[in-house]
Amino acid sequence: MIDIQRLPKHIAIIMDGNGRWAQARGMVRSKGHQAGVEAVDRVTAECSRMGIKYLTLYTFSTENWNRPPEEVNAIMQLLITSLVEETFMKNNVRMRVIGDRKRLSPEVRKCIEDCEEHTSVNNGLTLVIALSYSSRWEITDAVQHIARQVLEGNIKPADINEQTIAENLESHFMPDPELLIRTGGEQRISNYLLWQCAYSELYFTDIFWPDFDEKALHQAIEDYQQRERRFGKTSAQVKAETEK
């Protein structure tokens, strides 16, 4: 049973297995991404219903630009058709994108910018789409920002601390995810939220993303709730703190 009082505030997901899901059915890979959008809708609606505040989806990585152009185009088209403002407005969902927008086509950029602007009034779930995103890109970009501020004399190198770095990340507006889920059977982080996941609980499942549903989400949350989060302290210290 899920303890509704101890839900993670932020769940991050690596949505893997779309291609294999399609290939197992004799379909082209893009059909797997299409089915993946239905899973995005299901999981977004359920997180929203449960009262989870942030959901971050690894939608397209910097490395995914190296896929065949037909597949890249199919994913970009799917984004344009699936980021439906009306659905977000109806469900009080705020949509935001993190990633290197310079590489996106003007059409995709316009679509996400409009959607971000119009949904900025919503205060339910924040759905963060990691698009043209990689964590090393994000950290490099933050370092460039900070270096410029040093050059302009606004910060001293000795004053740079963890907070300075976190504030200069594209994802500065969201708390660190307590739970990172990866579907599709692989057990790696693939350049996703490396800074933010320093203390996240990792949950891996063999389920391919298009098959991921409410039940699978609940299982991941239940598993997370059984973990003891120590943040470097001892088990006895953590227990004493929770009994206070």
Return the amino acid letter for 177: P
Number of C-alpha atoms within 13 angstroms, CB side, residue 218? 10
Per the CB < 8 A criterion, the answer to whether 166 and 176 are in contact is no
How near is the Cβ of 82 to ligand FPP at its closest, in Å?
A: 4
- Closest to ligand FPP by CB, 122 vs 149, is 122
- C-beta of residue 182 within 8 angstroms of C-beta of residue 204: yes
Residue 181: strand, helix, or coil: strand
Residue 64 is among the residues annotated as catalytic for this protein: yes
Active site residue 16: yes
Site string for ligand FPP, 126-145 (x = CB under 6 A): ---x----------------
Of the residues 16, 46, 138, 170, which one makes contact with ligand FPP according to CB under 6 A: 16
Nearer to ligand FPP, 16 or 146 (CB): 16
**Candidate list 16, 18, 168, 176, residue with the active-site label:** 16
Report the distance separating Cα 95 and Cα 92, nearest Å.
10
Q: For residues 129 and 219, what is the distance between their CA atoms, to the nearest angstrom?
A: 23
Q: Which of 27, 50, 78, 139 is the binder for ligand FPP (CB under 6 A)?
A: 78
Contact 210, 41 (CB under 8 A): no
The residues binding ligand FPP (CB under 6 A) are 15-20, 33, 36-37, 40, 57, 59-60, 64, 75, 78-79, 82-83, 129, 184
Residues annotated as part of the active site? 16, 64
